[in-house]
Structure formats: C-alpha cells, structure tokens
Amino acid sequence: MNTKHYAVIGHPIGHTMSPFIHKRLFELSGIDADYGIIDIAPENLATVYAEKLKKLDGYNITIPHKQNIIPLLDEIDDKAKMYGSVNTVLNRDGIAKGFTTDPDGFIKAIEAAGIKLEGRIMILGCGGVARTMAYEIALRGLEFEFAVRRADVGAAGLLCLDITKKIPDAKVSFGLIDQIIGNVDVLINATPIGMYPNCDDQPIHNCAIGRCKSVFDAVYNPLETVLVKRARANGSIAEGGMSMLVWQAVVSHQHWDGSQFDKADIDKLCIDAAQELANR
C-alpha cells in the first residue's frame, strides 16, 4: 500500500492542532498516510501551490488562504461557492477540488453536545466564524440574531443583508452585545473573547449568561472558557470549540476517502486533543 500525503497550510501556523487530529483519524480509518505542516506567506501561495500542493493527495487550509486558494483550484463544491471559502482540498486524477467543512463541523459539534437549535438563537460577533454558523442556521429556516459591539453595527447590518440576499426567507436581526435582554435558548460565541492568553475574559455579563439555556463557544483554547464554566455552573448545557475543530476534520476525511467513524471514537479524540492542547 502506498503512503498518501496530506498537510495543512496557513500563515503563521506553528500552533495548529491539525496534525494531531488528522493522524489519529487516519489511524482510526486504517489508512497509511502522513500529515505535515506547510507555512506559506500570502505572496508565495501560487508558487507553493504549483511546486508542492498539487503533489499532495489532499490538504487543509487555514487563515489567511481560505479565499485566495479558490482561483488556483479546478473545482469547488456548491457549499464552498456559497461561503466563498475553502478549507479542504482533494487532489484526484489531476483535478483539485475544494470544499468547506467548517459549517458541517459546527452542526455536528452542536448535535454531539446535545444542544438543540430551536427557540431564541443568538450569535455573538459577526466575523467569519459567525458568518459560517449563521448560514447553517438560516438554511434550516430558523430565526436568529447577532449581538455585536457598537463598532461592528455596520458590519452586522451588511452581513444580515448578505444572508437575506442569498437566503431570501432568512429571519435574521442584530442588536448590541451589551444590551442583551430576556432569555436565550441557544447562545453561540463566535468571537475570540476568552481565547488564550486572555483566558479571564468573557463576551457577556454573568447575568446574561444566567439567562441562557445552552451555550456553544467556538473558542477551543482553553478547553473550558469562563463562558463555558459559568454556563455549566448555572446548570446550562455548554460546549467548547474543540469538538467543532475535530468534527470539521472528520468531514475532511469523508471528502478525501469516504471514511466513517464511530461517535465514541470521535468523543475520545476530542478529549485527547484537549489533553494534547493542555500539555502544550
């Protein structure tokens, strides 16, 4: 059996958890493969694409190349077209095809945590992560709202317009993050607030956290953010971002080789990835 070759590209990229996660997934699927890291400065992407990336069986993409890789590829699937973003590429028979697995990773992580997307759904932030989550929620016909800083009101308005343009029946609105009132059934933190090294920060006040039935925090370092800790202390269902990171990797493997995995194995991988992160 010939060894297959995969990698993750980005810049900077020394902190990535991708090799740890993907190597375990290859072991679980019984596929002989290696998985490396390729740091590519933005101005070098086209050159490295021709010299290295085309020779791989597949690769993952992180910031800042998720959009700039698109013109270099032969094809991208419909979901990647809608998002205008690619984080997974399959090279097969001389054709490079791009996919985005972030949306599916989000939905699978929510489901695995036992969080039901229903009732009042609120997304904190309006950046790239929030955009991904918002489209998946809108595609399911669910009503939701963004909560943002005053400085981001303009960006939130533009994002709402973009969503309703692509999904005409989308029910989306926005408000200020420091003026959240009433109960929230599903709170989703799509901001970097609380991320290492600013681990003591939290995106909303304690009184607002106390009114949330369930919480999903896209931040995965630390494994348990202050937001997640306080939500759990209140008796709410709460999940951090490590599961989303692992599940989007699982979807990459489904595109690469059709691999299927047991949920118990993925749950264990989430725990082990968290321990690996803590060790670092």
Structure tokens, 278: 């803590």
The Cα-based distances of 139 to 132, 145, 182 in angstroms read: 11, 14, 25
- Is 116 an annotated catalytic residue? no
**C-alpha dihedral sign at 134, 135, 137, 138:** positive
Position 273, amino acid: A
DSSP string, 139-179: HTT-EEEEEE-GGGHHHHHHHHHHHHHHSTT-EEEEEEGGG
On the question of a cis peptide bond just before residue 12, with omega within 30 degrees of 0, the verdict is yes
Kindly name the residue from 4, 66, 79, 165 that is annotated as catalytic: 66
Nearest Cα to Cα of residue 13 among 44, 40, 48:
40
What single letter denotes the amino acid at residue 250? V
For residue 227, how many C-alpha atoms fall within 13 Å in the half-sphere facing its CB? 33
- Pairs from 193-201 (Cβ < 8 Å, separation ≥ 24): 193/124, 193/219, 194/219, 194/222, 194/225, 194/226, 194/227, 195/219, 195/221, 195/225, 196/221, 196/222, 199/225, 199/226, 200/226, 201/226
Partners of 97 in beta bridges: 75, 90
Catalytic site residues? Answer: 66
